[in-house]
Amino acid sequence: MTEGLLPEVERGAVRRITVVGEPVLHRRCAPVTETHFGTSDLARLIDDMFATNHVAHGAAIAANQVDVDLQLFVWDMEDDWGVRHTGHIANPVLDEEPPATRRLVEEMEGCLSVPGPYKTVPRADHAVVRGQDMHGNPLVVESRGYFARCLQHETDHLYGRLYLDRLAKRERRDALREMEDLQESVLARRAAMAERLGK
């Protein structure tokens, strides 16, 4: 195994990442059901998502970002305190935090499906997401800081929302214009990384 690579990345194949404007990114994804849980197809999809995320230098990636209409995402990232988090979740639902205790933090956010630009997006500093693992077992993930932002961003994806949808119209236009300028170089970097890994 290559040093530092997750086994999922080793096993996985790199898939094409969908880009803003493609229909699969702009509608609610289908739930993962009993027909998916515990199957080799679902395990392979998760491996491929980890590999695709790694090559793109992402923190996390949702299934619709690899053109699969399922409520599923994976993550492999370091939080604000240098702790590495890796995992996957199907059918995630975010707990509603009461406004009185919710603390919003405005930080820069990017997206693998909006290659290039980063914009300031307010997100809750704490998030709890509930769902299932690849075998259908219940899963609860609690997070703070950047990890919480990541879980909220990915859950948004599965409801057909991008971080662009949380921006004012002018900021959204600016982001799309930046993407036009940066997309080619970002995609070239991803392709070079995939080639280095032999994927």
Encoded amino acid at 96, one letter: E
Q: Which of 193, 23, 25 lies closest to 114, judged by CA? A: 25
Question: Annotated catalytic residue: which of 154, 171, 184, 195?
Answer: 154
Residues 6+ apart with CB under 8 A from 3: none
* Stated length of the chain: 199
Q: Do residues 97 and 124 touch, judged by C-beta distance below 8 A? A: yes
**154 assigned to active site:** yes
What is the rounded CA–CA span in Å between residue 58 and residue 61?
A: 7
Tell me the β-bridge partners of 120.
Answer: 108
138-144 and 126-132 as β-strands: parallel, antiparallel, unpaired? Answer: antiparallel
Give the pair of three-digit tokens for residue 45.
Answer: 């999809």
What is the rounded CA–CA span in Å between residue 100 and residue 23?
A: 36
CA dist list (Å): 165 to 26, 97, 114, 198: 10, 21, 12, 35
Residues annotated as catalytic are: 154
